[in-house]
Amino acid sequence: MHELLYNSPIGPLLITGSEAGIRSVRFHQGAAPDYPKGEAVYECIEEAVEQLTEYFCQLRHQFDLKMDLQGTTFQLSVWSMLQSIRWGQTLSYAQLADRIGATGAARAVGMANAQNPCLIILPCHRVIGSNGVLTGYSGGLLRKQWLLQHEQQVLQLNLFS
């Protein structure tokens, strides 16, 4: 396993990867991990840094990374479906449950989202309450709001182009 600390506009992200792909992208608090100088990181981590930079520069709307996710069958189905929520769109937890064929399992979808190991890349920030209210995000609601506004800015700029 390799790790790399990426400084994003909304705080440091710790990216973890294996030879098989990205394992996690999480907001990092505290001291930076101590890496031996000159240590190489897996190519998937370098690709994640490149794609995250493009995302924050509003040049990328969808991630295309090799993933190495660890979770239950249900969690993996929720995380996979997150990738189908397009840039600038939101879904409710109930709508996401319907999409994976688990009608009535909005709470279970919320729990799977809470365990999402790859924030931003698997865009759980695009899932909101049925009443349109922003709820739950392991990175904090201010970051969730920032990410949604970041995505809306591009939609507004491209409205008449």
**Is position 118 annotated as part of the catalytic site?**
no
Largest Cα–Cα separation, the chain: 50
91, 100 contact by CB (below 8 A): no
Identify the three-state secondary structure at position 111: helix
> What's the one-letter identity of residue 38?
G
Task: Give the torsion through C-alpha atoms of 114, 9, 82, 27, to 10 deg.
Answer: -30
Signed CA dihedral, 68, 71, 73, 79: sign only: negative
Identify the three-state secondary structure at position 85: coil
**From the candidates 44, 57, 118, 124, which is the catalytic residue?**
124
Q: Report the catalytic residues.
A: 124
